[in-house]
């Protein structure tokens, strides 16, 4: 009961901070996203690289922060390159710089697996910095829409948890038992149902002003790919032999534990909005 109260209280505070920063202007939004980016990269590198290797970790975090800031400027100013192709070029430039820098640094460091270290740094930028930077396609100019997508994502989490507890307890329909034994197909179905209901409610309230078919399609994509994002982070933690990626959010674990679903769901949603010209 105490853990449930702690989890609920910290969740309410967490959502309040998210909503306030997303709707509070460019500076609060940028501070929030850069904090999340740096925190998640730090947790990722702690899981994959272990203790030490501070130079490589700092390089990865600085590269991720630079990519986010450059993408925010790109989408905010609505230049001729403010589309996914412009962002792709920006990301490729970031990886090119990292690929030039990291192997050279590793040449002068005594490590058993220097190439693996460089690969982990690159992986962190790809796994975390690229999705959060791509979210600027919405976040730079359409933060109420981005907030709506987060609400759908949170609704999916709640729905999956409740339906999993109510109908998936018997353990006969495990979703991915080798990675996350507690997840069930009943939870997946419940999460999708609640995500669709949340999308419809947001459309009714006018927070998402797209045609209803697009709102429901986005809700479905967020629910499905959110689950995959959650499972991928669970696979990472299982590989590292840990239960949580960190302890920054009482009752919830680390930032990666809280935003793992968003790392896959938000980029897919942004690409959907781009290809259907919704923004």
pLDDT one-digit tens code per residue, 218-241: 999 999 999 999 999 999 999 888
- Eight-state DSSP code of residue 253: B
HSE-up of residue 210 (Cα within 13 Å, Cβ side): 25
Q: How many CB atoms lie within 10 A of CB 97?
A: 14
Q: How far apart are CA 18 and CA 190, in angstroms?
A: 24
Helix, strand, coil shares of the chain as percentages rounded to 5? 75, 5, 20
Q: What is the DSSP string of 216-243?
A: HHHHHHHHHHHHHHHHHHHHHHHHHT-S
Give the global pTM: 0.91
- What is the distance between the alpha carbons of residues 190 and 37, in angstroms, rounded to a whole number? 30
Give the ranges where 77-177 is alpha helix by DSSP (H). Answer: 84-107, 114-124, 130-134, 136-139, 143-167
**Which pLDDT score, from 0 to 100, does residue 93 have?**
85
Distance CA 220, CA 149 (A): 11
What is the predicted pLDDT for the residue at 147?
Answer: 95
Specify whether the CB–CB gap between 267 and 134 falls below 8 A: yes
> Environment class of residue 159 by beta-carbon count within 10 Å: exposed (0-12), middle (13-18) or buried (19+)?
buried
Tokens of residue 239, six digits: 């590989």
Nearest to 136 by CA among 39, 254, 269: 269
Print pLDDT tens along the chain (279 aa).
Answer: 556 677 778 878 888 999 999 999 899 999 999 999 999 999 999 999 988 889 899 999 999 999 999 999 888 886 655 677 778 888 888 888 888 888 888 777 777 778 888 899 999 999 999 999 999 999 988 899 999 999 999 999 999 988 888 876 666 678 888 888 788 888 899 999 999 999 999 999 998 989 999 999 999 999 999 999 999 999 999 988 888 888 887 767 899 999 999 999 999 999 999 889 887
pLDDT of residue 20: 94
pLDDT at 3: 63
Q: How far apart are CA 270 and CA 85, in angstroms?
A: 13
């Amino acid at each position: 009961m105490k853990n449930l109260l702690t989890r609920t209280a910290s969740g309410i505070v967490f959502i309040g901070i998210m909503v306030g920063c997303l709707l509070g202007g460019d500076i609060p939004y940028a501070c929030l996203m850069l904090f999340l980016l740096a925190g998640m990269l730090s947790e990722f590198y702690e899981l994959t690289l272990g203790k030490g290797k501070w130079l490589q970790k700092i390089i990865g975090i600085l590269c991720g922060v630079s990519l986010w800031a450059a993408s925010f400027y790109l989408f905010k100013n609505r230049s001729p390159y403010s589309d996914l192709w412009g962002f792709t070029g920006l990301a490729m430039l970031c990886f090119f710089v990292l690929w030039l820098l990291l192997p050279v640094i590793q040449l002068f460091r005594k490590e058993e697996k220097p190439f693996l270290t460089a690969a982990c740094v690159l992986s962190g930028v790809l796994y975390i910095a690229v999705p959060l930077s791509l979210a600027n396609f919405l976040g730079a100019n359409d933060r109420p829409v981005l907030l709506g997508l987060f609400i759908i994502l949170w609704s999916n989490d709640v729905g999956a948890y409740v339906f999993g507890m109510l109908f998936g307890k018997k353990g006969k329909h495990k979703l991915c038992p080798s990675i996350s034994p507690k997840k069930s197909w009943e939870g997946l179905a419940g999460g999708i149902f609640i995500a669709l209901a949340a999308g419809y409610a947001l459309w009714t309230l006018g927070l998402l002003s797209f045609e209803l078919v697009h709102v429901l399609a986005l809700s479905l994509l967020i629910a499905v790919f959110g689950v995959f994002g959650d499972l991928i982070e669970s696979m990472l933690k299982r590989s590292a032999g840990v239960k949580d990626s960190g302890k920054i959010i009482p009752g919830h674990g680390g930032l990666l534990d809280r935003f793992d679903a968003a790392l896959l769901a938000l980029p897919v949603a942004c690409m959907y909005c781009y290809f259907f010209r919704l923004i």
